[in-house]
Amino acid sequence: MSMAAVETKKITLRTADNHEFEVEEAIAMEFSTIKTFFDENPDASEDTIPLPNVTSKCLSAIIEYCKSHLAFRARETSSSIDEQVRTYDEEFVKARDNESLKELILAANYLNIKALLDMLNQAVADRIKNKSVEYVRRFFGLENDYTPEEEAAIRAENEWAFEGVDPDDD
């Protein structure tokens, strides 16, 4: 204890699958849910925080993300840093399959990490753009609860009334 200069404060988080993660306070404060909790309960920082809605796989990825972004933010802003951030985000998303992406979104939403949520939601939007309705249903694991008549009526309205922008065609 005596030799350390300044010890960074650590927070312990316990995931849904009972793994414990020790993270630096700075990183835990990126999670607005946790920051709010500590702002309201300043004495609680010694306790282990349970995260029943987050798996260890997710939390580990999220911690990596927040660590990297904190490091980026600590450096001076420049267009090359922006480029590096963009590349990092692209790689972060590219590596995830659809299931992991959805899990991460729910976790980021629960932990209220705005920048990560923005990025992930954009990524999901990109994955369902230009896809069929059936693909989108499968992606989200959703059932079609329209009757055939209802579906036909909406399809007609969509295609006939609200069809989409004309390319400039005179």
Looking at the Cβ atoms of 8 and 132, the one nearer to another protein is 132
Selected binder of another protein within 2, 94, 126, 148 (CB under 8 A)? 126
Helices and strands (H, E) in the chain, number of each type: 8, 3
Distance, CA of 72 to CA of 64 (rounded, Å): 12
Only segment of 22-30, 32-40, 75-83, 119-127 that touches another protein (CB under 8 A): 119-127
Helix (H, G, I), strand (E, B) or coil at 109: helix
Instruction: Decide: is 131 part of the binding site for another protein (CB under 8 A).
Output: yes
Q: Does the protein bind another protein through residue 136 (CB under 8 A)?
A: yes
Reduced to 3 states (helix: H, G, I; strand: E, B; else coil), residue 24 is strand
* For another protein, the closer CB: 64 or 157: 157
The residues in 71-110 that bind another protein, with binding defined as CB under 8 A, are 99, 102-103, 105-106, 109
E strands, the chain, where?
A: 10-15, 20-24, 48-51
